[in-house]
Amino acid sequence: MKTYSVKEAYVTLQGEGAQTGRAAVFLRFAGCNLWSGLERDRESAVCKFCDTDFVGTDGENGGKFKGAEALADHVVSVWREKTRESVSKGYVVCTGGEPLLQLDEPAINALHARGFEVGIETNGTLPAPSSLDWVCVSPKANSDVVQLSGNELKLVYPQTEAEAQPERFAALQFEHFFLQPKDDNRQAENIAAAADYCMKHPKWRLSLQTHKLIGLP
């Protein structure tokens, strides 16, 4: 039976993109294919600006889960701990790390069977199962994006590489196109640059990481 490694799982409000403000279980899988997660490897990683600790299984409600049923039961218990609505109205956002290294059809089916809608945050380097209810792809420079359709494309901005410019993605099959200012030591300039791009190219909308503004995880 497959074991799923989960860094943490908690109820918060989706802070980013078109589902901003919606209560969800954030199910953060351990591990990523574009960075080891160790600070000593950051500068040599493909993805250098990650704002997330996805190493290990030691976070809030983290752990190793044997099989899709155990994983989905755990998500139910996290949802019930916080939320006054039944699981049949539940929403789970699978993230990481890179969730598609682990999230598979049996896990999605088990979450659906318990009544959850299932969303994903992915870097797009692995194909997303078509049974997902919401697919957010966030392409990274120097990676091969294979998931070229979905609900929203959310590009961290700016990325200097030519291949990671918004123009490269604007014709792909997504309902929503977002620029999300890169959270680093140039945050103010990054927000201004993203806002300016969205004004000049109205196909794109600004995605602020609103959870960070109000102190939510």
Ligand X SMILES: C[S@@+](CC[C@H](N)C(=O)[O-])C[C@H]1O[C@@H](n2cnc3c(N)ncnc32)[C@H](O)[C@@H]1O
Interface with ligand SF4 by CB under 6 A: which residues? 32, 34-35, 47, 50, 52, 54, 96-98, 123, 140
- From ligand SF4, ligand 2KA, ligand X, none, which one binds at residue 14 (CB under 5 to 8 Å depending on kind)? ligand 2KA
- CB neighbour list of residue 179: distance below 8 Å, 6 or more residues apart: 154, 155, 157, 166, 194, 197, 198, 204, 205, 206, 207
The CB-of-16 to ligand 2KA minimum distance in angstroms stands at 4
Among 33, 36, 52, 165, binds ligand 2KA (CB under 6 A): 52
| 121 noted as active-site residue | yes
* Cα–Cα distances in angstroms (integers) from residue 131 to residues 9, 108, 120, 150, in the given order: 21, 7, 11, 12
What six digits make up the tokens of 54? 């996805």
Catalytic residue status for 51? yes
Residue 210 designated active-site: no
CA distance 138 to 99: 13
**From CA 131, how far away is CA 104, in angstroms rounded?**
10
Residue 112 among the catalytic residues: no
Catalytic residues: 26, 32, 47, 50-52, 121, 211
Annotated binding residues for S-adenosyl-L-methionine, written as ranges, equal 49-51, 97, 138-140, 180-183
